[in-house]
Amino acid sequence: MTDRTQKGGGRGAPADEPAGSIGRKGNVRTIADLARLAGVSGATVSRALNDSPLVNERTRRRIQELASRHRFRLNARARQLRLRKTDTVCVILLIDEEAGQGLSDPFLLELLGGIADRLSARGYDLLLSRAEPGADWWEEVLHPRRFDGAIIFGQACEHRRLNALADAGAPFVVWGGRLPDQHYASVGSDNLGGGQAATRHLIEQGCRRIGFLGDLAFPEAALRWEGYRLALEEAGLPLDEALYRPTRFSGESAVRATRDLIESAQPFDGLVAASDVIALGAIRALEQAGRAVPGDVAVVGYDDIPLAAYVHPSLTTVRQDVAAGGRALVDLLLSRIETPPARTAPASQQADGQEPPHVILPTRLIVRQSSRRDGAFTPRMPDDADASGPVGHD
């Protein structure tokens, strides 16, 4: 034991911090230290700090005041060990480097920010973890030791694994679309509605042959495709699979896909892209090929990344409410953690009771230049009219 701790509390009352430095106020690091100062036992201090009704109110206030004066903070590790709880949520980024949606997609960072804010508001820490789809990332989700639950990105890579984890009762939620045979909770934007709105908009702008760029292996992209399909259907337009090009979430992939589409000699006058990054790549490829946007081809993206408004032409896109998304992910996970599902059921049967929860966030179509064909779409940008060149409206 450290005997250096002074006994007489009276004289030792620490003076105000020395000016210009960050004071330490002695070394009140443990409950025992504080207990000594307060002249009570550690148990009482613990109870006081946790607002237990078992301690006298005056005592409690005295201890709390003492604690804050000395900047005392509980040792989270010890507390977590004792309570068998970590107050930590792990955000797992299952990122397939080859699939393109690396950490570069700005959208992801925004969502992460929303999650961080919500978690801290609810008193949880955020553990960030990158993992590769094939690896053993799931082991700790099944038996978490460093966290109470997980928020997972990368649904597409591991749908079956996620189902198995959910069947085993692991506490997690997933960002992404809702799949037909899905046993786990998830949160995602209204991908179907968004894709539909984007496509309808292009149709309203006069597009008749609209292509789709996205990777249907990603559930979110697949749902956007489904919306695209519905919009075509309701407008009585044919669905031409020749206008689909599988495209990963990267600019480069989008450029390749678009070039491919152009070279296929299939006529098209509109493009629905599964992300803004894809849309920008597509626009680049179109312009390089001498096709004007939106004159020859109108383009709609997805995500409304911060840059979408500042590129040229500015990007029509589907906005997702990322802050709401972060909040929903956290709240859904914590509701699962803090009120565990009926313990009597052997977890493996938990799935067949009812549908796992899925939160759908509303989306909003943001119309900008890349899709506008009303002729007067660029009052402040005479360049554009010129750039559209010889192309008439439809």
Map the footprint of DNA across residues 38-67, applying CB under 7 A: 39-44, 46-47, 49-50, 54-57, 59
DSSP 81: H
With CA atoms as reference, report the closest residue to 190 among 321, 298, 280.
321
* Binder of residue 385, out of its own copies, DNA, none (CB less than 5 to 8 A by kind): none
CA distances 153 to 66, 109, 361, 384, Å, are: 44, 12, 16, 39
C-alpha 325/C-alpha 107 separation (Å) is 11
Angle, helices 42-49/31-38, rounded to nearest 10 degrees: 100
Binding-site member from 226, 287, 321, 331 for its own copies (CB under 8 A) = 287
310 touches its own copies (CB under 8 A) = yes
* Binder of residue 128, out of its own copies, DNA, none (CB less than 5 to 8 A by kind): its own copies
DSSP helix/strand/coil, 362: coil
Specify whether the CB–CB gap between 311 and 281 falls below 8 A.
no
**Minimum distance, C-beta of residue 77 to DNA, in the bound complex (Å):** 7
Give, as ranges, the residues between 331 and 370 that touch its own copies (CB under 8 A): 348
Give Dmax over CA atoms of the chain in angstroms: 91
Specify whether the CB–CB gap between 133 and 93 falls below 8 A.
no
* Binder of residue 129, out of DNA, its own copies, none (CB less than 5 to 8 A by kind): its own copies
Number of residues engaging its own copies in binding (CB under 8 A):
78
Binding-site member from 4, 7, 11, 84 for DNA (CB under 7 A) = 84
**Minimum distance, C-beta of residue 219 to its own copies, in the bound complex (Å):** 22
DSSP helix/strand/coil, 57: helix
| Residue 87 vs 226, nearer CB to its own copies | 87
**Minimum distance, C-beta of residue 236 to its own copies, in the bound complex (Å):** 33
Q: In the stretch 4-43, what mask flags binding to DNA with x, by CB under 7 A?
A: -------------------------xxxx------xxxxx
309 touches its own copies (CB under 8 A) = yes
- Tracing tokens 């620490």 back to the chain, one arrives at 14
Give, as ranges, the residues between 14 and 43 that touch its own copies (CB under 8 A): 20-22, 24, 29
DSSP helix/strand/coil, 274: coil
74 touches DNA (CB under 7 A) = yes
**Minimum distance, C-beta of residue 251 to its own copies, in the bound complex (Å):** 4
Angle, helices 31-38/57-69, rounded to nearest 10 degrees: 120
The reply to whether omega before 267 is within 30° of 0 (cis) is no
96 touches its own copies (CB under 8 A) = no
Number of residues engaging DNA in binding (CB under 7 A):
28
C-alpha 135/C-alpha 119 separation (Å) is 27
260 touches its own copies (CB under 8 A) = no
- DSSP assignments along 151-203, one per residue: EEE-GGGGHHHHHHHHHTT--EEEESPPPTT--SEEEEE-HHHHHHHHHHHHH
| Residue 58 vs 343, nearer CB to its own copies | 343
* Binder of residue 43, out of DNA, its own copies, none (CB less than 5 to 8 A by kind): DNA
Specify whether the CB–CB gap between 341 and 169 falls below 8 A.
yes
**Minimum distance, C-beta of residue 174 to DNA, in the bound complex (Å):** 28
112 touches its own copies (CB under 8 A) = yes
Q: In the stretch 160-189, what mask flags binding to its own copies with x, by CB under 8 A?
A: ----xx-xx---------------------
With CA atoms as reference, report the closest residue to 257 among 243, 267, 240, 268.
243
Q: Which residues contact DNA (rule: CB under 7 A)? A: 1, 29-32, 39-44, 46-47, 49-50, 54-57, 59, 74-75, 78-79, 81-84
